[in-house]
Amino acid sequence: MSISVGFPPIAAADAQVLVLGSMPGRASLAAMQYYAHPRNQFWRIIAALLGVDSTAAYADKAAALRASGIALWDVLHSCRRVGSLDARIESDTLLVNDFRQFFAEHAQISRVFFNGAKAEEVYRRHVLPGFASGALEYRRLPSTSPANASSTFAEKLEAWRALTS
């Protein structure tokens, strides 16, 4: 089994909000797009929040994120896992992204939102120690993954409204 490598961030220089996932799943890696699994609700939620078409081209949805001041990235640069479930990420293969550099280049970010528990756990365990993150506000949101069936779309959308408030 090989190491999977994530994507660069989607971020304008003046971004104020950062959304962090854990690591792209198989469908996303194959499509070379964040949240490409057809049942993942991320783009549907973003469309509802930003007033864009959820079926628009990926480049258009990414442009809408940048225009709204929302950056998108993953905590992990690379890892090994079987399948797409976060629970299957092999902890001894984790390599986190360079957040020092990212925050230096995006100094206006004041709020960080985690798309699910794994993103938050890995960030807090592997990024925060020894990292002076200033006055950043952190908040975990319900995962948009189809594996998170415990929350309805309406419940997820309501929680995710925090991005634009």
Side-chain-side CA neighbours of 96 within 13 Å: the count stands at: 21
What is the pLDDT, as a whole number, of residue 164?
94
What angle (nearest 5°) sits at the alpha carbon of residue 45, between those of residues 65 and 74?
A: 55
CATH class for domain 4-164?
alpha beta
Domain boundaries, the chain: 4-164
CB 124 within 8 Å of CB 136: no
Per residue of the chain (165 residues), give pLDDT as tens. Answer: 689 999 999 999 999 999 999 999 999 999 999 999 999 999 999 999 999 999 999 999 999 999 999 999 999 998 888 877 777 888 888 889 999 999 999 999 999 999 999 999 999 999 988 776 678 999 999 999 988 888 999 999 999 999 998
What is the pLDDT, as a whole number, of residue 1?
64
Alpha helices in 91-145 (DSSP H): 99-105, 117-126
In one letter, which amino acid is 50?
A: L
What is the pLDDT, as a whole number, of residue 131?
74
What is the pLDDT, as a whole number, of residue 62?
98
Q: How many helices (H) and strands (E) does the chain have?
A: 6, 7
Q: What distance in Å separates the CA atoms of residue 44 and residue 59, rounded to the nearest whole number?
A: 15
| Secondary structure element (H or E) that encloses residue 141, with its range | strand 137-141
